[in-house]
Amino acid sequence: MIGNGMPILDSRSTQAFYNELAALQPAFVPELQAMPQGTTAAILQMVARFSSIVAQRLNQAPNLDQLAFLNMLGINLIPAQSAVVPVVFTPLPINANAQVAAGTRVGAQPPGAPAPTVFETENDIALTAAQLTQVVSLWPDQDGYIDHSSDLAAGRQFTLFQSPTPVTHVLYLAQSTLLAFQGDSTVEVRFTLATPGSQALEIRWEFWSGQTWQAFRDFDPTDSSASQDGTAGLTHSGVITLQVACGDSASTTVSNINNY
């Protein structure tokens, strides 16, 4: 087999052909005088050389047959094209905004190579003196995000959109009288949905106790004293009943609004 997996039909070299011809010559052509040098040796060398050339061409036949088969299937060779590599330009701190024109020559020195490999930029590149300070991956389809800013500041490598964490959604409801409760209390919130939800949402209902966000009682349709979700996770309009035991609400400030 050769490097591309094609079989070798005849692996004999010129010397191998010459040795076989020299061994067969006395039986088939006894009138030729076998000598290491002279006319007989020259004839055998020429025949051996032509035989090795024929063997080389024969060994290329499988490659030719493969190309013919691929052409019959309509699979052609990819046209020759220039090598493409990513290039990062880092402006000097003293430079302002600038532009790298298309066709700018850039050299790269491969290890052990006597001379650098020269590339040319394909497009105009804008350089800005501003420094990137925040990088965030936001994946709307998965409602997830990743903040890469700490890795950016530390110069660590990071992968965009890898294992995003769920985006936190918070809805604040405020009312200075109805939500200013103390002790055992019941809060009812009625939702009228213009478009019913297609999937039930897992919602955690909390109130500010003055020191921390404290959860209302869990939803349990079998317990009348527990909280009840009449919207089935906001999949339809209804009333959500929230129960709290031994809890006092307190006012707090959110987005410059102070209320309960």
Task: Report domain extents, the chain.
Answer: 14-72, 87-131, 136-166, 185-259
- Averaged confidence pLDDT in the chain: 88
- pTM summary value: 0.46
Q: Which of 207, 214, 216, 217 has its CA nearest to residue 251?
A: 207
Quote the pLDDT of residue 4. 63
What confidence category does residue 11 fall into, taking pLDDT thresholds of 50, 70 and 90? confident
pLDDT over 80 at 260, yes or no: yes
2: pLDDT confidence band, cut at 50, 70 and 90?
Answer: low
**pLDDT beyond 60 at 1:** no
Average pLDDT over residues 97-115: 87
| pLDDT above 70 coverage of the chain, percent | 98
pLDDT tens-digit profile of 26-57? 888 888 777 777 888 888 899 999 999 998 88
pLDDT > 90 fraction of the chain, expressed in percent and rounded? 46
